[in-house]
Structure 1
Amino acid sequence: MTSNYSGNRPFRFAISGIHGSGKTTLCHAVVARLRESGLNAVVAPESARQSLLLAGRHLSIEMEIEVLGLQIAEEMRAGLSAQIVVGDRSVIDTYAYSLARFSELDARGCSFMDAIFDFGRSYVKTYDLIFYLPVRAFPKTMNDALRDTDPVVDLEVLSGFEKAFSGWNVDAIQLEPNRAVEAIIQNIENTYKKNSIVSEVNS
């Protein structure tokens, strides 16, 4: 996706991918590198951990709406105090998991799904970059009650990501796990740092 970053607001990007792909570890590794270079960077944490519906195993389209709202709130709060905000998932993840989990919905559920799609198509444009981890980095046997472990769900979620990328015209940057940090840092240097310098010159 083409960044519209102009250097006069927080630079915000997100790392999307299936559960267990290493998003959280990668987010913190990138923030550490950015702080080492003198930049004020923070992680907008994965919002699913705060979901009361998910914690109670109330798997529903309403739960996905709750998670989406929490994610946006985390991103907005992080932007109040940082130059760079690293999102541990994005609105794309919510849509992908909604498609995978809820293939059959009543009329009300379909309206919720349509709302996620329509909102996501607009909101995804507010990210300066989207990175994508399409493979699982950790074993499916890890002890985490909030993660799906069914391999069929994995395939359906991956399909959901592709539908979001296509339907929302998102040119996500696919990452290779063994060089993901370097790839993200390079992209930040090509967008954030360049535009920050231009903004300072023009101010």
Structure 2
Amino acid sequence: MLVGIEGTHASGKTTLVHALTAHYRERGVLVDCTDEPARTSSFIEETVIHGKGVFDLPTEVDLYAAQLSATLRGARHHHLLICDKTVVNVFAYARMVLPASPGSHEAAVLDAMAGFCRAWAPATYDAVFYLPDRYQHPADPMRAKVSHLQEQTADAVRDTCADIGLPLVDVPAGLDVAARVAWIARRVDPLLTPPTG
């Protein structure tokens, strides 16, 4: 089973992903989670932290490929995989930050990403939960440099998921981590089936 956790920057995705993973491990489910590729990307570190370079096509293709690869590899050997965002999120962000004039190489790659997302994502993710909250993390240098994009990113993720055909389940706003875990678990538990083979 594949569960995605979506939302904008600093909405609490990573914290929730790890809390959900711990929740299911304590219950004996063979579970793992994916990390957010941007946190370990040398491309993103160079651009966001060190101010060298820009969000370019190689950066976005690297993040897209890393998100997809982590999802495929994690799901291969676990009964439940909880994803720190979806590949559609990575595509939404690429579409938002890349200058892609009609007929350009960038536009062609974005079209290819969109086609793949439409063919793969709706049939692959069993549930995708959207976090509406916004948090501030001034001590996090990566988030601090992109916090001004929160609203734009939220709109881009929602619009792109709708365009791709990936339904989102809205988590109520204002819940703490434990309440979020309980709320999502009540919806995931009925979907879990015993592993076969």
Q: TM-score, normalised by structure 1?
A: 0.81
1:120 shift after superposition? 1.2
Conservation of the 8 A alpha-carbon contact between 1:99 and 1:156 = no
Q: Is 2:58 aligned against 1:68?
A: no
1:150 shift after superposition? 4.7
Q: Which residue of 2 aligns with 1:6?
A: none
Q: Which residue of 2 aligns with 1:3?
A: none
Moved more, 62-71 or 176-185: 176-185
User: In the aligned structure 1, how far is the partner of 2:8 from the partner of 2:125?
Assistant: 19
Conservation of the 8 A alpha-carbon contact between 1:13 and 1:129 = yes
Q: Which residue of 2 aligns with 1:4?
A: none
Conservation of the 8 A alpha-carbon contact between 1:15 and 1:90 = yes
User: In the aligned structure 2, how far is the partner of 1:33 from the partner of 1:112?
Assistant: 38
Q: Is 2:73 aligned against 1:113?
A: no
Q: Which residue of 1 aligns with 2:146?
A: 149
User: In the aligned structure 1, how far is the partner of 2:189 from the partner of 2:147?
Assistant: 38
Q: 125, 129, 132: which one pairs with 2:130?
A: 132
Q: TM-score, normalised by structure 2?
A: 0.83
1:140 shift after superposition? 4.9
Deviations 1:3-40 (A, max 9, x none): xxxxxxxx111111112111111011111111111111
Q: Which amino acid aligns with 1:122?
A: A
User: In the aligned structure 2, how far is the partner of 1:68 from the partner of 1:171?
Assistant: 20
Q: Which residue of 2 aligns with 1:189?
A: 189
Q: Which residue of 1 aligns with 2:50?
A: none
1:142 shift after superposition? 3.2
Q: Is 2:39 aligned against 1:39?
A: no
CA RMSD of aligned residues (A): 2.1
1:52 shift after superposition? 2.4
- The 1:135–1:96 alpha-carbon spacing in structure 2 relative to 1, beyond 3 Å, is farther
Q: 10, 20, 32: which one pairs with 1:20?
A: 10
Q: Which amino acid aligns with 2:125?
A: Y
- Indicate the SS of the match to 1:68: helix
Q: Which amino acid aligns with 1:83?
A: H
- The 1:69–1:185 alpha-carbon spacing in structure 2 relative to 1, beyond 3 Å, is same
Moved more, 91-100 or 14-23: 91-100
Any gaps of 5 or more consecutive residues in structure 2?
Answer: 48-53
1:149 shift after superposition? 2.9
User: In the aligned structure 2, how far is the partner of 1:134 from the partner of 1:124?
Assistant: 21
User: In the aligned structure 2, how far is the partner of 1:180 from the partner of 1:148?
Assistant: 27
Superposition pairs for residues 50-61 of structure 1, below 5 Å? 50-57=40-47, 58-61=54-57
Q: Which residue of 1 aligns with 2:51?
A: none
Conservation of the 8 A alpha-carbon contact between 1:61 and 1:113 = no
Deviations 1:156-202 (A, max 9, x none): 21221122122122221111251321122111112114xx3xx87xx
Q: Which 4+ stretches in 1 moved above 6 angstroms? A: none
User: In the aligned structure 1, how far is the partner of 2:64 from the partner of 2:39?
Assistant: 12
Kindly tell me the number of residue pairs found equivalent between the two proteins.
Answer: 184
1:145 shift after superposition? 2.6
